Chains A and B, each alone.
Chain A
C-alpha cells in the first residue's frame, strides 16, 4: 500500500513511510470478503443454474436458483457498502432460505443427495460465519439511544442571545 500511496502523490507532498492501525476492523474485512463471495456465488447461480440444478438433483428448479443468485448479488453489494451490518443480516436471512431449500432436496428421493449434503454443510458453516460477523458489526455500530447527553446548557452565547445585527462583509463581496 505504501508504494501505491506514494505513486499517486504530487511531487513534494508528504510520502507515507509507515502505516498505522486502520479504522477497518478484522470483522469489516471479513464482511467485505463475504460480500465478494456472495456476489461470485450469485453470478454462478445466475449463469450456471442448469449445471448447478443438475449437480444438486434439482432439475426443473433453475428459475429458483437464478432468483437466489440475484438475491446473493444484492446481499453481496449491501455487504460491501457502509451499511454492511444490514448486508450481513440479509445474508443470514438468505442462508435460512438456502437451508430450507436444501433440506427439501435432501428429503425426496434424490440421486444427488450426497452433493446436497455437502452443499448443506457448506451453507451451515457460512451461516455461522455470517451470524458472527453480523452480530459483531451490529454491536460495533450500535448507539445507545437511551443514554444521551443533554447539551441544553451549551447556548454558545456568552452574553445571551439578544444581540442581532447584519453581517459585515467587504464591499466587493459577492458581486
Chain B
C-alpha cells in the first residue's frame, strides 16, 4: 500500500509499504477514505518531537471503512462499517479510561517503558506519533491497523460525509476540550491565540458554549477572516498590541479565559524579541519549545482566570513567569485530547446542524501529493488552513 513515511527532518515521502495485518484479537484493519494533515504533524515534520524514527508512517486524523476485524472485537465493530479513528488509542477498561481520561490510558502504549522514563508515567498510545507514545503507524496511508479497535472508534451514522465527521478524530474535540476546560460562563471573554485548525474549532466551541465575546489572535488575514466568520473579534498581532487590545476589550481587566492553540512553534518576529531568543535556543538544542504565547497569556489573563493549552508542547520551556501565574491565582488546564469523552456530544451537534466542521477544509489532495502539501501547509501558502488527503 502507499503511505506517507517520515524519513527525517522535513523529509516525508509517499512510499510503498507492506500492508498492515491483524496482530491481536482486538485489532481491526481499516481502509482509509480520508485523512488530514494536523498542525502537530508539522512538529514531527520539523523533528521537534523526540523519538521519531525513520520509517514511521505519519497521520493521526483519519477515517475509513472496516475491512477486517480480529476475533476479540466481539461484534462491537463489523466489516463494512464507517468509522472515525480517534488519535488516542484506548482500552476502555483501565482506571484512567473509566474516568474518561482517555489520552492517558494506562494500557495502550506498547512502549510504555520509554514513556515512563520520559514522562514519569505512561500516557496513551497515539497513532502516527513519537515512539514515546507507542510509535503506532499512522493513518496517512491506504490502510491502517487499529489496535483496541472495539473501543478505539467512533461509528459514523448514515448520511454524513467524510468531511463532516473526519475531524471528530482530533481537531474538533481538541478545540472543544480547550473551550470546555475553560468552564465558560455567559459573562466571559475567551481569547484564543492562533487561528489555525484547532484555534478555529476552539473559537466555535467557545461560541457554542456561550462566551460573551471571543477574541481571535493571529496575523494571517485569511485565518482572521475565518475567525471573524464565527463571530470572533480579531487581533492582528503584526498591526496592534495584543495586550493593549485585550485590555481595551475587557475594560482593563483582561480576558477571563485564555486558550493557547499554537503550542511549541510560536511565530518568530523582531517585534517580539523573546521569540528570537527562543528560536536561537531551540536551534542550539537548548530549549524544545517556543513559549511566547504562554508568557503573553499569563501576563494578560485576568487574575483567577483559566489558561487552557490544547497546543502541543514537546519538552523543556524557558522563562515562564511562574511568579505572575502564582500571584494571579491562574488555573492551568492542558493535555492531549480525551477524544472519546466528547465525541458522542459532538456527533450529535453535527447531526443536528449546530456545527459543520468541514468549514475549515481549504485544500483536498491525493495521498501522493502529501509531501508537497506538508510544505504548502507549513509555509501557509495559497491561504492553506487545513489539508485533507484522499488515499
- A: residues with CB less than 8 A from B are 1, 4-6, 8-10, 12-24, 28, 77-78, 81-83, 140-144, 148-159, 161, 163-170, 172-175
B3 & A14 in contact (Cβ 8 Å cutoff): yes
Closest A residue to B373 by CB, please name it. Answer: A23
Contact with A along B371-391 (1 / 0, CB 8 A): 110110001110101000000
Q: List 11 A-B contacts (CB under 8 A).
A: A9-B55, A10-B110, A12-B21, A20-B368, A22-B371, A151-B225, A154-B226, A159-B353, A161-B207, A167-B345, A168-B345
B55 & A16 in contact (Cβ 8 Å cutoff): yes
- If the complex has contacts A20-B368, A23-B371, A148-B222, are A156 and B99 also in contact, measured as CB distance less than 8 A? no
A81 & B379 in contact (Cβ 8 Å cutoff): no
Kindly identify which residue among B9, B100, B208, B223 contacts A173, using a CB–CB cutoff of 8 Å. B100
Q: Which of A82, A156, A169 has the most CB of B within 10 A?
A: A156
A173 & B375 in contact (Cβ 8 Å cutoff): no
Kindly identify which residue among A20, A78, A164 contacts B14, using a CB–CB cutoff of 8 Å. A20
Kindly identify which residue among B15, B200, B345 contacts A19, using a CB–CB cutoff of 8 Å. B15
Kindly identify which residue among A17, A22, A166 contacts B13, using a CB–CB cutoff of 8 Å. A22
Contacts of B16 in A (CB 8 A): 16-18, 20
Q: Give the distance in Å from the alpha carbon of A55 to the alpha carbon of B345 in the complex.
A: 75
Contacts of B210 in A (CB 8 A): 164-166
Contacts of B45 in A (CB 8 A): 23
Kindly identify which residue among A16, A143, A175 contacts B5, using a CB–CB cutoff of 8 Å. A16
User: In angstroms, how far is the closest chain A Cβ from the Cβ of B242?
Assistant: 20
Query: SS class of chain B's interface: helix, strand, loop or mixed?
Result: mixed
Asked whether any CB of chain A lies closer than 8 Å to the CB of B25, the reply is: no
Kindly identify which residue among B55, B357, B372, B383 contacts A5, using a CB–CB cutoff of 8 Å. B55
Interface residues of B in 1-22 (CB under 8 A from A): 1-3, 5, 7, 9-21
- Besides A151-B383, A173-B341, 14 more A-B contacts (Cβ < 8 Å) are A4-B55, A5-B53, A12-B145, A14-B18, A14-B141, A17-B18, A22-B13, A23-B13, A23-B375, A24-B10, A143-B381, A148-B220, A148-B383, A170-B341
- B: residues with CB less than 8 A from A are 1-3, 5, 7, 9-21, 23, 45-46, 53-55, 57, 98-101, 110, 135, 137, 141, 145, 176, 180, 186, 200, 204, 207-210, 220-223, 225-226, 228-231, 279, 283-284, 338, 341-342, 344-345, 348, 353-357, 359-360, 362, 368, 371-372, 374-375, 379-381, 383, 385
A156 & B7 in contact (Cβ 8 Å cutoff): no
B99 & A175 in contact (Cβ 8 Å cutoff): yes
B284 & A77 in contact (Cβ 8 Å cutoff): yes
> Inter-chain contact count A-B, CB under 8 Å?
191
User: In angstroms, how far is the closest chain A Cβ from the Cβ of B219?
Assistant: 10
Q: Give the distance in Å from the alpha carbon of A166 to the alpha carbon of B141 in the complex.
A: 36
Kindly identify which residue among B1, B12, B98, B353 contacts A172, using a CB–CB cutoff of 8 Å. B98
Contacts of B355 in A (CB 8 A): 156-158
User: In angstroms, how far is the closest chain B Cβ from the Cβ of A129?
Assistant: 21
Contacts of A12 in B (CB 8 A): 20-21, 23, 145
Contacts of A1 in B (CB 8 A): 7, 54
A168 & B353 in contact (Cβ 8 Å cutoff): no
Contacts of B207 in A (CB 8 A): 157, 161, 164
Contacts of A163 in B (CB 8 A): 208, 354
A168 & B15 in contact (Cβ 8 Å cutoff): no
Q: Give the distance in Å from the alpha carbon of A4 to the alpha carbon of B101 in the complex.
A: 36
Closest B residue to A14 by CB, please name it. Answer: B17
Contacts of A154 in B (CB 8 A): 226, 229, 359-360
Contacts of A166 in B (CB 8 A): 209-210
Closest B residue to A153 by CB, please name it. Answer: B229
User: In angstroms, how far is the closest chain B Cβ from the Cβ of A69?
Assistant: 17
- If the complex has contacts A14-B3, A152-B226, are A172 and B381 also in contact, measured as CB distance less than 8 A? no
User: In angstroms, how far is the closest chain A Cβ from the Cβ of B200?
Assistant: 8
B13 & A169 in contact (Cβ 8 Å cutoff): no
Contacts of B229 in A (CB 8 A): 151-156
B12 & A22 in contact (Cβ 8 Å cutoff): yes
B7 & A155 in contact (Cβ 8 Å cutoff): no
User: In angstroms, how far is the closest chain A Cβ from the Cβ of B123?
Assistant: 16
Closest A residue to B52 by CB, please name it. Answer: A8
- If the complex has contacts A150-B225, A151-B226, are A174 and B100 also in contact, measured as CB distance less than 8 A? yes
User: In angstroms, how far is the closest chain B Cβ from the Cβ of A43?
Assistant: 16
Q: Give the distance in Å from the alpha carbon of A141 to the alpha carbon of B376 in the complex.
A: 9
Q: Give the distance in Å from the alpha carbon of A14 to the alpha carbon of B93 in the complex.
A: 28
4 tightest CB-CB pairs across the interface, nearest first? A173-B100, A5-B55, A156-B359, A164-B210
A174 & B209 in contact (Cβ 8 Å cutoff): no
Q: Give the distance in Å from the alpha carbon of A82 to the alpha carbon of B348 in the complex.
A: 41
B180 & A167 in contact (Cβ 8 Å cutoff): yes
